Amino acid sequence: MPLASTLPTIWVTGLPASGKRTLATAIADHLRVQGQVAEVIDSGRLRRTPLGATLGFSRDDRDTNMRRHAMAAAMLTRNGVLAVVSAVSPYRATREAIRAELGEFIEVWVSTPPAVCAERDQTGNWARAKAGELKGFTGVDAPYEAPAAPEFEVDLTQESVDAAALRVVSFLENRSTPSAELEPDSENLTADLDELGYSD
């Protein structure tokens, strides 16, 4: 289905435990304070649903996961909701393809260094991967292809989450305003997101 929308999708990408989810949540929170309707699409949450649980961590499965996020973002934006995606999304070519399909796409690269990600990781996955107990882990034995020209680069060892979120929100405030604002269609939006496994 066509994905393009007049509203932007904010796509937060980076290594595991880099701070993506925290930043995405902060961006959405600031948008809501300003009266915007915003939702976070959290990759970890989708993988805990029956739909996401069918996916592994091969390249094809990772690409499918990213495409599902893009579909959910398109559903939100077509209904007047700003979508903030938090996902490792390790492959540059797939992110660029999604950018072209969505039309309005703001890429936020959380470039927190790998050593810091590993130190901050509360799941133990970085340590397990380095010990060889977890295979195909992005940043250890699976690649992460950094964005070539993201709209924002955020290193959370050098900048606070709040400051980075406000940079993104300020950018959104200064972008051109669509000619017609959409009113959220809650009933249809809920049904669409149910199909993707985002319902509680």
**Which pLDDT value is given to residue 177?**
47
**Which pLDDT value is given to residue 63?**
86
**Which pLDDT value is given to residue 107?**
97
DSSP letter string over 11-47? EEEESTTSSHHHHHHHHHHHHHHTT--EEEEEHHHHH
* pLDDT tens figures, 113-142: 999 999 999 999 999 999 999 898 999 999
Burial of 81 (C-beta count, 10 Å sphere; 0-12/13-18/19+): buried
> Which residues are paired to 11 by β-bridges?
85, 107
User: Is 89 part of the annotated catalytic residue set?
Assistant: yes
Name the catalytic one among 18, 43, 86, 89: 89
Query: Count of alpha carbons within 13 Å of 195, Cβ hemisphere only?
Result: 9
* pLDDT tens figures, 86-113: 999 999 999 999 999 998 899 999 999 9
8 Å CB contact between 12 and 108: yes
Question: Hey, what are 174's tokens?
Answer: 């200064």
**Which pLDDT value is given to residue 124?**
93
**Which pLDDT value is given to residue 181?**
43
3-state class percentages of the chain: helix first, strand second, coil last, to nearest 5: 45, 15, 40
**Which pLDDT value is given to residue 3?**
55
pLDDT less than 50: residues of the chain: 1-2, 177-184, 186, 199-200
CA 61 to chain centre: 16
Q: What Å distances lie between residue 37 and 71, 125, 179, 184, 190, CA to CA?
A: 18, 34, 17, 8, 14
Question: Hey, what are 162's tokens?
Answer: 């709040």
Identify the structural domains of the chain with CATH numbers, from first to last.
9-189 (3.40.50.300)
Residue located via tokens 């066509």: 2
SS3 129: helix
Question: Hey, what are 107's tokens?
Answer: 């890429």
